[in-house]
Each structure stands twice: as C-alpha cells, then as structure tokens.
Structure 1
Amino acid sequence: MNGSWTAFGGDLHLDLTERRAAGAGLRAALEDALREAVQDGRLAPGTRLPSSRALGEDLGIARNTVVEAYGQLTAEGWLSSRQGSGTTVARRAVPVRDGRAQGESTRTGPVRGGRAAPARVRPTVRHDLMSGRPDLSLFPRTAWLAAARRALATAPHEALGYGGPLGRIELREALTHYLARVRGVRTDPDHLLVCNGFQQGFGLLCAALRERGARALAVEGYGLPPQHAVARAAGLSPVPLPLDSDGALVDRLDARCGAVLLTPAHQYPTGAPLSADRRAAAVRWAREQDRYVIEDDYDGEFRYDRQPLGAMQALDPERVVYAGTAAKSLAPGLRLAWLALPDALVEPVARLKALTDTMSPVLDQLTLAELITSGTYDRHVRRCRLHYRRRRDRLVAALAEHAPQVEVTGIAAGLHAVLQLPPGSTPEAELLARAEAAGLALGSLGWHRVDPTVAEDAAPALVIGYGTPPEHAFPAALAALCEVLRTA
C-alpha cells in the first residue's frame, strides 16, 4: 500500500444542487463542494480525483469548468496536480472546523453530572500473553502463496461460482483423509461442513438444536464467555458442569440440555483431558437421551508430553459433532473451520449456513486443500509443534527460577498454561491491573468461569498464552511476567 486512494469516474459523489439554488455559479459550486469534501475528511490526502472529462460527464457540466475549478483549488493548496499523474488531494493538514486543536481526541466516556467524562486511555500493550492466539509470524506465507497458485491454476471454472453450503468438495475430501489419519475422526465429505471459524459453526449448531426444541446447553464450568454468549443468542441457556483433574463431571448431565459442549482433548482453560470413562459416559448419555456432544478440538495438533488423544467423535459419529479449526495451526484471520456432523444434523445445519452467508470463501478452501494433499500442512504443523514446545519449556524454566511459588498446570498440550498462585496472593483483578500498567496483557482464570457470581475460595490463577509474541519479543514478555508475579 502506498497510502494513495483512487477515485475514478462515478466514484466521487458531489452534490451541487443546494449551492446552485443559492445562486452560486457552476464553477464556484464545484469548488465549494470539493473544499468541503477535503475539509470534512471525505477526500483524504493523496486521494486521486477523476479526470476533468470524467467528472464533467458525471456532473453534466463542461470539462473546462472542471479544469478551472481544479486549477483554482490547486493554486489554493487544496489539490495537487502533476503532468501525467492526474489531480490528487494535497498532502496537507486538514483544517479542524470546530476550533479544537488538531489531534485532540474527541472520544468521550460515560456521562457524569450532565457532562461527558473523557474516555480512559488504556496503557499500550507491549507484551501480549493472552491465551488462544498463535504466533502469526509462523504463518507459511511462501507455501500458502505457492499452494494458492497451484489451486487456482487447476480449479474448474465452476469453483468460482456460487457453491453449496457444505463447502468445496476438494477441501472436504482432503479433510476427510487428514482427520481420519491425524485425529481418528470417522466421517466423509457428505458429512463435513466448512464454516467461517468455530464461532460461526457453533452458532449454527446452537440454532439447529434450538429448532429441535432444545432450551439449554451443558458447558464446562470454565470456558470461553463469547461461546456462552453465542449459545444464549440462539436461545440456549448455558448449564455449567463442575471440573476436576479428569475434566468435566459428565454424570451431572440431565435431560433438560439438548447437547453438551466439551473440550475433551485439552480442557480450555484448565488443561485437563477428559478421562476415557467420562468420554464413554457422555456418549452414553447422548444416546440414551437422544442428545448430542459437541467436541471442540481447538488445538488438537499440539501435544507435547503425552500420546495424542484421538477424537471423541470416533466413539459415536452419530452422537458427537466434531469441530476443528485452522485458527491455531495457521491463523485465525483465515476464518477456516469445519464440522463433522451426524446424519440428522447435516440438513438443518447446512440450511442455516445457506441462510447465513450462502457459502464460505472458495479460494482459501482450495488453498488449504492443496496444502493438506501435498503434505505441506503436516510439515508446517510439526514445525509449529516444536516451536511451541520450546516456548512452553522456556516459560516453565523462567517461572521455576523467578517465581517458584507459582504452580504451572495444563501444559501437556496447547498454547497456554494456567499459573496457580499460593493462597493469600494478590487477587486476580489487582494482578491484571499491575500487568496492564506494565504493558503486559494477561488473562485470569476467573474471567473464564461460566457463572461469575459464584464465589470460590480457590487461590488466584492466571491464564497465560505463550504463542503470541514473535520470537524476538518473547524473552522480554517472560521477564515482564516474572516481575509482576514476583510481587504477587
């Protein structure tokens, strides 16, 4: 991007009617309209204006009138004109019309006593250790570009048209084989649906369950509040299940819930895997009650100190919905995720997907399919797994040296860890405030609690993501974290 904007032909809207009605001539009306557009910021510095011929045709005025107006505004410094480069808005300070000093913030906060209080300016985040985010510098740009070229070169013409809501067959076929090989998922292309991130897929599932008469959704006692908000928006009330070292207590499931949302391979955020007995019990409940299990396999590729746990979906593909995503392995900005659906949910979820956005973007689907089938995706995941394991080891070593009072849990997999502080330590809210003042972004375990009104006697705990900082910034982020914990 060079900072220039282009506006050709009909892309520039100027209304001369009121100025003409007030008695202004054509040229004067045009000059006033252009000045106002620049002053208001509608025409930003560097914006390229239409040619005099094109603007004259659009406004129904003589070309010479436009040439003269452009010339006058150029002389005044509003516009800039160079031979062969056309006419652009001059790169000059835009006058502020209400008398405020330029650059002064106009943001306001809550109204207090009839006046708007200034908005609180948050300290700059220098070290991002929020959970749930990958190191975006690992994105395989070169490999992605090469795969995109190959995919586009071989794609049939019809691939660029309107497609079905399930997604491109190339990606669904590639995912069928990949998920079976890597996660043990039992599905086929006709039961896979590609969606724009897990959030959309989960929302579609909640809406489909609501259509079937569900009124509640069982969830793990700690999880992601935005997911709970999605369930509520679909008309499902989240019902929390307690957690222990073996995951969710699924024996608390009851018939009022239309489904249960679980993270069985690596509970988010506590990190505990769901035990084999509880996996079987959850599936048994779904069969007996004609209900469903939604398996969120959000970081299934990243296992370090244990054998990979296969997908729970393999226990009963007709009762377990498997949800996977490329958000951690590639980048959340791709908005690529997928659902392996039981037969009874394919039609309602696909129908809702079609109503939502018709289909997911095609080119990214074709590119990911090419990455998977060529083996490039596997190689990339292995590189990422090694990278994040080293990150985790450095985090654990730094805490052992500088904050030995902190217990680190949930680190056998994933991109985050839970830091359990001793009883009597600084409360979570105060710790977060100290971290924020130091430019350090952290998360607390309490924020993830489904019912924030439930008082717990547990010691404070932080949820630390070690994936986000680029490699050069990671040592400084660790040092800042240890300093905050040292005084906790």
Structure 2
Amino acid sequence: MSIDMTGSSASGIAAALRTRIERGELAPGTLLPSVRAVAVDLGVNRNTVVAAYRQLAQAGLVEARGRGGTRVADRAEVAQEGYAPDTVLRDVGTGNPDPARIPDPTAALARSARPVLYGEPVIDPGLEAWARAWMTDQLPHDDVRITVTSGASDAIERLLAQALQRDDAVALEDPCFLSALHTVRTGGYRAVPVDVDAEGMTADGLRAALEAGVRAVICTPRAHNPTGASLTERRAAALRAVLAEYPYVLVIEDDHFSLLSRSPLHSVIGPAQKRWARIRSMSKFLGPDTCLAVTASDPDTADGLAVRLTPGTTWVSHILQRLTLALVTDDGVRADIEAAAEHYAARNAAFARSLTERGLPTTPGDGLNLWVQLPVSAASVRDDLMRRGWLVREGDPFFLSPAPAGDFLRLTVHDLDESSATALADDIAVAAGTRRPDARGGRIEA
C-alpha cells in the first residue's frame, strides 16, 4: 500500500510514523518506503530519513531486513532466558542452572538479618572487602572501586546509561547473550555485531566495530552464552591491543560464570583503558533469584554507576548482601559450587560426545549450555523434536546478523538423566537426518 510520509526532520518523520503504527494504521510486516523515496518525496537529506528509521528501530517499532527493506515490527516479546510457560514438552532450552545444585540459603539467612537504617553505607562492608579481593585478579589498575547492583543486567544498564546517549553504538558479541542484547536495545542504543569464534570475540571484528564509532564494548571473557567459547590468552592479548588504541571507550567485562567456570580468566581490560568495569553476578551459582552482582571499575565509572544507588531508594538489600557473603565464604557452600561446576562440565561433555557419535560434531564449551550446529534448518529440527516431546531453543534469536553458516540449537541438558539424554541425542540425530527411525519408531544408524 502507499504510505503518505510527513515531516522535515528525523524526529518529525519518526514521530509521524510512530503515531500511525501505534494507532494500528500500519500493521506488522508493512513495508515502509525506501530511504531514497522518502528523501525525494519530502525534500530532505537521505541521512535524515536514515536517522528517522533508526529511531523507530531503536524503539522496536520497525526492523531493517537488508534487501527486504524496513518493515513495521511485530510487537512480540523479545526472546528471554527461562522456562517456556504452559508447555507439556520437556524443555531443554531454558538456560537455567540445575535447582538441585543451588545451595540451600536457610542456615545462612538466619545469620544475615540486622536492621539497616537510612544513611548507612549502601554496600555492606564485609561484602565489599570480600569482593575487592575476589574481583581484582588481572586488573592492571591500582584504584579499583566496588559497586553492588541488582544483577548483571542492572549493572550493564546503569553502566551504559551513565556513559552513553541514546543512539550511541555498543559492540556486542555475535551471537549474543539475550539479556545483554535486550538491555542495549531497550536502552535506545545501536548494537554493532562482533563475530565470535572458538576463542571468543575476534580482534578483527572488534577493530571494525571501534572504527565504526562504538562507545562501549561488552565482552564475555569465558563461558560465552550461547556458544560456550572462552578467551584464550593469545586472543585476550590481541583484544587488549586493539582496545588500547581507544582508551576512552567503556569496556564492560561480563564474567557471569566466574566460580563455575572451568576456563582460566583472560581479561580484556588493559592498563591503557580509562573507562572499564568487570561484572560478576551470583545468579549461576547461588540462583537467579539472588539478584545481586558485584562490579569492579575505575573511580569515574563507579561514581556514575552508583548515582541511583542512594540510601533508602535503590540500594541493594543488605539482607541479600549479607546472605551472599555468608554463602560465598562458607566452605561447605564453596564445595557445593565446585561440585556443581564439575557436574555441568561433565554432563555437557558427555552429551557432546553422544551427538558427535551420531553424526553431529559438537564441541563442549564452558557454561550451562551446548551450542550445536546443524546440517539442516533449525526450524525443521525444532518442529520434529516437538512432535517427539522436546522443546528446544533455536540459535536465531541470539544473532544480531544472519548466522554465518548453518543453523544452530542451544541446549540445556545438564539435568537430564542417562536415559533421557540418550533419547534426546537420538531424536536430534533423527530430526537432523544423521540417523533414521526404524519402522517401530526406534532409531538406527543411517
């Protein structure tokens, strides 16, 4: 259909289109006129139209599809981690830790209650002292500040908000952790993809993003979600060398798996960096409901991060802070965390071997999940597995740009028993065409 465009500035064009979209006059999937056509029609510069479309994309109202043009977006919910609601299928795409591996906080909670009044420090002194010792490994800076937030996503949101303006560009790994992608998009920033390979974020990709003008970089040094990649010492050194040429770009190191990781930490924060932050959340080993993360950063970044952490309004509960400290300093709890780490690594490695034996070569990375490349469409495998009783997560939502080769599944299999794991591996192989079912519905090698 023909769309009448109005406006003489980027904000004016965007506002007019937004009104029509919100009123339902432009349905999801509607193709908007090309940038060139709008520029000619309204007598404005093409960059003005580009900026208008970008504003709408940042708000989630339209999406650019390359040669497919710019279309009105479907206002469906952004993909998030967690269990799928209202399903009778066995969900193996959750991204969750095993609840049986989360330490029981009951005893520690009894030691954590003390009234806290307005005006007290926003960070519990005991937790701050412990966190300072824990957070500063490989940091080549003497003046390190500690901040506590309500989880890693809260920290990232605050870090970006104090350093960036709307429409600034942020470098993200591609594929990317869903929460980081969601935080960047809802904050109104532009996500710039940086390729990830078996050694983590690529140096060439980071350089290209920095040359394109990104003002912040979010990097996962180990247990990258979804691929499981961890930075090697060589790759981390290459990334630090690239970042050293851009000392005032904010570097956010999201070390989300920390105590559970089976990979050594190789940091991307170098001595030349002026604006940096390292985040470690408790969600993977103390449970998502802990909602607490610790950030180590330079003083100026810490000041900006803490602006909203004022006593009596947005501090993180001192009960939660002291509970966290009691747990992470308990020898029994630390032994449980170590056992959980070994469990996740062993179960993922065993399932990767099972898939490899069935014609789907899979390398276990670090983290809670497995990243599986398929020889056929992930959508077709998903549909086939649903008929077999499984709910899996496709790789597409994790990518900022089209997948480089093949389709992918991200699987969370660490809580499957041996029988269930064997059945799932068989069913994936059948769905992917590397095995065929027999006449009775069983599975035999092709």
Settle same-fold status: TM greater than 0.5.
yes
User: Which of residues 95, 99, 102 in structure 2 aligns to 1:139?
Assistant: 102
1:350 aligns with 2:311: no
Structure 2 counterparts to residues 366-381 of structure 1, below 5 A:
366-381=322-337
1:203 counterpart letter in structure 2? E
Q: Does the CA contact (< 8 Å) of 1:440 and 1:481 recur in 2?
A: no
With over 3 angstroms needed to count, the CA separation of the structure-2 counterparts of 1:288 and 1:188, relative to structure 1, is closer
Aligned to 1:487: 431
Counterpart position of 1:92: none
Percent identity, aligned pairs only, is 22
Mapping 1:8-407, distance limit 5 Å: 124-130=87-93, 132-141=95-104, 144-152=105-113, 155=114, 157=115, 159=116, 161=118, 163-165=120-122, 167-180=123-136, 184=138, 191-210=145-164, 215-249=168-202, 250-255=206-211, 256-289=213-246, 290-304=248-262, 308-313=264-269, 318-354=274-310, 358-401=314-357, 404-407=358-361
1:312 and 1:320 in contact (8 A); partners too: no
Match of 1:81 in 2: none
Equivalents in 2 of 1:303, 1:202: separation in Å? 21
Question: Aligned residue for 1:459?
Answer: 406
Which amino acid in structure 1 is aligned with residue 111 of structure 2? R
Q: How far apart are the structure 1 equivalents of 2:174 and 2:194?
A: 5
Which residue among 387, 390, 393 is the counterpart of 1:443? 393
Matches of 1:189 and 1:371 in 2, distance apart? 27
Cα deviation for residue 122 of structure 1 reads 8.2
1:197–1:335 contact (8 Å) kept in structure 2:
yes
> What secondary structure does 2:328 align onto?
helix
Give the unaligned 5+ runs of structure 2: 1-73, 75-83, 433-446
Larger radius of gyration: 1
Aligned residues: 345
Secondary structure of the 2:228 match is coil
Q: Is the 8 A contact 2:388 2:427 kept in 1?
A: no
Unpaired stretches in structure 1, ≥5 consecutive residues? 1-109, 111-120
For 1:162-208, what per-residue CA distance to the aligned partner results, in whole angstroms no more than 9, with x for missing partners? Answer: 6545x32221211222334xx54578997111111111111111111
- CA deviations on 1:363-391 (whole Å, 9 max, x unpaired) are 12101112223334422221111221231
2:394 counterpart letter in structure 1? S
Distance, in Å, in 2 between the alignment partners of 1:235 and 1:391 is: 39
CA RMSD of aligned residues (A): 3.1
Residues 372/314 of structure 1: CA separation in 2 closer, same or farther (3 Å cut): farther
Letter in 1 for 2:106: L
Match for residue 75 of structure 1?
Answer: none
CA contact (8 A) 2:344 2:368 kept: yes
2:443 is matched with none
For 1:349 and 1:257, the matched residues in 2 are separated by 20
When residues 253 and 486 of structure 1 are mapped into structure 2, their CA distance, relative to the original with a 3 A threshold, is same
Once residues 315 and 300 of structure 1 are traced to their aligned partners in structure 2, the CA distance between those partners, rounded to angstroms, is: 22
- SS of aligned partner of 1:351: coil
CA displacement, residues 207-247 of structure 1 (integer Å, 9 cap, x when unaligned): 11215x88110111210244223113323211111233332
TM-score (norm 1): 0.63
Contact 1:323 1:339 survives alignment (8 Å): yes
Shift in Å, 1:314: 6.8
